[in-house]
């Protein structure tokens, strides 16, 4: 373990040294994080991993371009790259099939993985997820357009949580400093440049492909999400036939943090349920 709790283990996945966290035993779960500035798998999933690790082998990688995973200089940040990295990571970990939980951008990656490599996924959980194209929100525009300062980070985190008491200066300082490491902001700025509606198009899947997803799917969203609208999850629910939708009231974009216990139990019950 490194000095920071965000640094876990490292493995070479398709030539990319990938930082990841790995706890528990049993059927594997892959946790894919969102795309906010200064994000990492640990920052997204720190309150989820210990709970799910009681019944499952729970693995959370930093997707290439984010966190403490290597950022190759010539890499193109696009869905094809991210799907390849996810599959290379599963191969490197010698995991044939896993439950997959995706948050926001990580949800769009999970949807794309379910379309392109359905045999690698057991069950699917999508939380505050991108999947199909939707109209850019002010919150997402601000998040993807973030430029580094403590004030900007503080303002952005206020958009994420319905309960403002979850957002304090300490958290904002941590996320701000995480985004200042060499290469982090450069990679982030290159991913979703304006016009940012194009960024949504870049990570969204085609409706006909989403309608072909056969996996048992749990879709979770916060009713008061200012980043990804609830309608994005309602559209996924409409398209994925083996799906259920759970909407949390008094909840923003951070279901796994704002309603942590309820989220953990909901996901755990869904994944433990007999097929």
- Which residue numbers are catalytic? 104, 225, 253
Beta-carbon count within 10 A of 136 CB: 17
Decide if 122 contacts 99 (C-beta within 8 A): yes
Query: How far is the C-alpha of 196 from the C-alpha of 202, rounded, in Å?
Result: 10
Query: How far is the C-alpha of 139 from the C-alpha of 162, rounded, in Å?
Result: 13
Decide if 33 contacts 60 (C-beta within 8 A): yes
Q: Which backbone phi and psi does 209 adopt, to 5 degrees?
A: -70, -40
Q: Is the peptide bond before 36 cis (omega within 30 degrees of 0)?
A: no
Packed helices 169-178 and 150-160: angle between N→C axes, nearest 10 degrees: 110
Nearest CA-CA partner of 244 in 130, 131, 124: 124
Give the three-state DSSP class for 178.
helix
86-111 burial: b if 16+ Cβ within 10 Å, else e: bbbbbebbeeeebbbbbbbbbbbbbb
């Amino acid at each position: 373990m490194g000095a920071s709790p965000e640094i876990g283990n490292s493995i070479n996945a398709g030539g990319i040294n990938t930082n990841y966290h790995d706890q528990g035993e049993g059927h594997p779960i892959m946790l894919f994080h969102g795309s906010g500035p200064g994000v990492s798998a640990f920052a997204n999933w720190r309150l989820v991993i210990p709970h799910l690790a009681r019944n499952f082998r729970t693995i959370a990688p930093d997707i290439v371009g984010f966190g403490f995973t290597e950022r190759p200089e010539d890499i193109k940040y696009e869905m094809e790259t991210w799907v390849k990295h996810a599959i290379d990571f599963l191969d490197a970990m010698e995991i044939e099939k896993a439950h997959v939980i995706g948050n926001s951008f990580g949800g769009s990656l999970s949807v794309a993985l379910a379309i392109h490599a359905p045999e690698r996924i057991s069950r699917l959980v999508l939380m505050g997820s991108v999947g199909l194209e939707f109209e850019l929100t002010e919150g997402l525009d601000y998040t993807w357009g973030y430029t580094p300062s403590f004030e900007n980070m503080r303002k952005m985190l206020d958009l994420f949580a319905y309960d403002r008491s979850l957002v304090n200066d300490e958290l904002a300082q941590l996320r701000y400093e995480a985004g200042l490491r060499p290469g982090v902001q450069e990679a982030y700025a290159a991913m979703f440049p304006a016009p940012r509606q194009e960024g949504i198009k870049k990570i969204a899947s085609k409706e006909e492909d989403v309608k072909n997803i056969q996996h048992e799917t749990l879709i979770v969203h916060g009713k008061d999400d200012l980043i990804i609208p609830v309608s994005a999850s309602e559209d996924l629910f409409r398209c994925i036939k083996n799906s259920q939708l759970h909407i949390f009231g008094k909840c923003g974009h951070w279901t796994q943090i704002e309603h942590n216990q309820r989220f953990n139990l909901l996901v755990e019950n869904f994944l433990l349920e007999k097929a």
